[in-house]
A and B are shown apart, each in its own frame.
Chain A
């Protein structure tokens, strides 16, 4: 199945800095979703962006989607220690009853 691929896979930043991570995928999608996972716990949904949308915001999060390049980015502004987590992108194809996850980005925010 098609799978998003996150980049970079590991990121370490200082508190207050912005963190950007990218996701690339291979096929036509209906929507792309970003999730956060704190160590060993369940994934928490952050943002869903549809294929006809280019940008979406939620609090300190900004997601962009470029369907021509088959890529998405997640920006966390003014990062906090509590943002330390793994971040996953997942793609939902049209008419496909599946959500394909990438391998995740590990983000460490240093206080």
Chain B
């Protein structure tokens, strides 16, 4: 089944404790992206990756890191989480065309609470 998986689905942590949220897709998509969703703010892009070893900042990259060592995986790293990073996080993947981004397939989301 074609899908994007994220782990963990729920996470409670404390300020400053490094964490990683994993994302994996099995559709051989070049493009992968991380979003955060907050009430009243919609989805905001954190980082994206056009292909292996190619990553770039989105709208709200501060406090986050990513890596793309393999095509299927795109982990999101919070090296020193803070309470303002409490949010619902989504990973997504899609085919990529030079003319623009195509349909995105979303993971189920990771709900993060930073105390």
Q: How far is the CB of A26 from chain B (nearest CB, A)?
A: 15
We find that the number of chain A residues with CB closer than 8 angstroms to chain B is 29
Q: Say yes or no for A48: interface residue by CB 8 A criterion.
A: yes
Task: Provide the residues of chain A in CB contact with B101, threshold 8 Å.
Answer: 30, 92, 96-99
Name the CB-closest residue of A to B98: A95
Interface string of A26-44 (1 = CB under 8 A from B): 0001110101000011111
Give chain B's interface residue range (CB within 8 Å of chain A). Answer: 20 to 34
Task: From the candidates A29, A96, A97, A99, name the one contacting B104 in the complex (CB within 8 A).
Answer: A99
Q: How far is the CB of B54 from chain A (nearest CB, A)?
A: 10
Q: Say yes or no for B12: interface residue by CB 8 A criterion.
A: no
Segment at the interface with A among B43-51, B64-72, B73-81: B43-51
Count, A-B residue pairs, CB within 8 A: 75
User: Is B88 within 8 A of A31, CB to CB?
Assistant: no
Q: How far is the CB of A69 from chain B (nearest CB, A)?
A: 20
Q: Which residues of B, 92-115, contact A by the 8 Å Cβ criterion?
A: 92, 94, 96, 98-109, 111
User: Is B88 within 8 A of A94, CB to CB?
Assistant: no
Task: Provide the residues of chain B in CB contact with A58, threshold 8 Å.
Answer: none
